[in-house]
Each structure stands twice: as C-alpha cells, then as structure tokens.
Chains A and B, each alone.
Chain A
Amino acid sequence: MCSSHATVRGLLHDLPEDEIFVLVDAEASPEHLSRATVEAVDLQLVVAEPYFKSLETARRYSKLGKELGIPNVVIVANKVKNPEDEKAIAEFCETHDMELFAVIPFDESLAQAERAGVAPLDFDPDAQVVRSVKDISQRMKERVARVG
C-alpha cells in the first residue's frame, strides 16, 4: 500500500505542467491526502453530495488538501435534486470556508448509461451531467490562473 501511494506521488511530480492535461481519479479513502499522494496537483475537485456525511467528508478532504499545499481546492456539488439541496450545500460551504465551484444536478440518464454499460458521454452527449462537466472544464483553467 505504502509503495502505491509513493508511486502515484512521485509520478505526479514527474509529469509536466503544461503540455498535457493530467487527471487523477483518487481513491475514496483519505490516504490520497494523508500520504501526500496528490500534493503536486494544481487543482483538487472535491465531490460532495447534498447530505451530511458526504459534506463532512468533503470538509475533511478540503482541509487536508489545503494543508498539503494544493493551491486550489474547490467543491463540486453532485446529484443535486432541488433548490433545497443546493441551498444546504451552499450554506455548509460558506460556514466552513469552502468554495462551491460547481453544482451538478441529479441526472437520471446516468443510471440508464450504467445499465447500458456505456460512458455517460457516449450515452447522451447532451445529458445534464455532461453539460455541467463541460462547464467545469471551461472554467477550471481560469480558476487555476487566479490561484487561491
């Protein structure tokens, strides 16, 4: 286990900043932060669902990411079903000094894509979740350039 984290950590340091876009799908366990596995990234997207345990996890992961020195740590709210959900997340983020960067609505087509065994983007390129992630892809470069 230790060598796995050290390998990812070293690789991320070795990879170039500019020529390519590097995306790491981290494991659910907080070890990717406590072992400094992802310390070399420019941006940490912390995905949170609108319920307390998920938000608490996001709060811990954000804190660890900031302690690690990641320059941009932001929250992506996911599976948001209604304005109450969105409000609850926005309030939690404000209380705990977390930046709510994007809100992705709950998308029924994901379950259909899952059943069909295809990527969400291939199942329906115009799906709500795809449009939301496209918005993130367009704004994240500007967000990283801003730093902080």
Chain B
Amino acid sequence: MKVAVSGKGGSGKTTISGTLARLVGRSGMQVLAIDADTNPNLALTLGMGTDAFDHLVPLPHGLMEHRRVDGETRLSLSRPLEEVTAEFASAGPDNVRLMMVGQVRGAGTG
C-alpha cells in the first residue's frame, strides 16, 4: 500500500507520518518512508536523531531517466529499485527505511 499524508503546514502531518510508519513497521511489514518535504523533518519524528539526519543524502535527480511507461513519458529509476534503496535509504527503527527525495542540495542550487 502507498499512502500520502498531506495538509497545511503545522497541522501535524509529519508527526502522524512518522508515527504511522513506525507502527506499521512494528507490526512486521517493511516500510519505506519518503520525506518529500522541502523542509524535511521526518527523520527526527521517526526517532533517527540529529546525527543520522546530517548524513542523509537526497535521492539524486540523475538516477531518474525519461521512459515511456503505460502510454505516458515520465521519470523512472534508471537502476534497480533494490540498488537505489540500498544506497539511499537509511535504516531507522521498527523496519522503517527513510529516503529523502526532492530536497535542495544547498542555497542557490535550484
């Protein structure tokens, strides 16, 4: 199952996201949590600590290539998913792996 949590800033979506991810993981399922917020705080809510947070690397756009899938052209991973998660997803508590996607790399980089 794929779930998106959305809402106004400050509504508590990151708290709900992080807690939900861990509770599902605790029940035995493998969880991939994706922080797609340009101001990312999911790692801290997952309980990964500031040390882990400083070492998280956003998924590089260069890993995606344009492909024609199901009649539309969209970006798709250019390497196998397992390889990409092994390299870019960080292990957190309760079977949760966290991947940062869509963040900027630094001021003025786009």
Q: Do A and B bind each other?
A: yes
Interface residues of A (CB under 8 A from B): 1, 3-29, 32-33, 37-38, 40-49, 53-54, 57-58, 61, 65, 70, 76, 78-79, 104, 110, 117-122, 129-130, 133-134, 136-137, 140-141, 144
1/0 per residue, CB under 8 A from A, across B12-36: the answer is 1111111111111101011111111
Interface size on B, residues (CB 8 A): 58
Residues of B within 8 A of A65 (CB): 6
Closest A-chain residue to B101, C-beta based?
A: A8
A17 with B2: CB separation less than 8 A: yes
Q: Which of A9, A14, A16, A48 contacts B11 (CB 8 A)?
A: A48
A53 vs B22: C-alpha distance when bound (angstroms): 30
Q: Which of A27, A76, A118 contacts B16 (CB 8 A)?
A: A76
B4 with A45: CB separation less than 8 A: yes
A33 vs B8: C-alpha distance when bound (angstroms): 13
B107 within 8 A of A: no
A-B pair number, CB within 8 angstroms: 229
Task: Provide the main secondary structure of the chain B interface.
Answer: mixed
Closest A-chain residue to B96, C-beta based?
A: A23
Closest A-chain residue to B69, C-beta based?
A: A13
B34 with A24: CB separation less than 8 A: yes
A14 with B22: CB separation less than 8 A: no
Chain B positions 53-101 with a Cβ under 8 Å from a chain A Cβ? 59, 61, 64, 69, 74-77, 81, 93, 101
B32 with A21: CB separation less than 8 A: yes
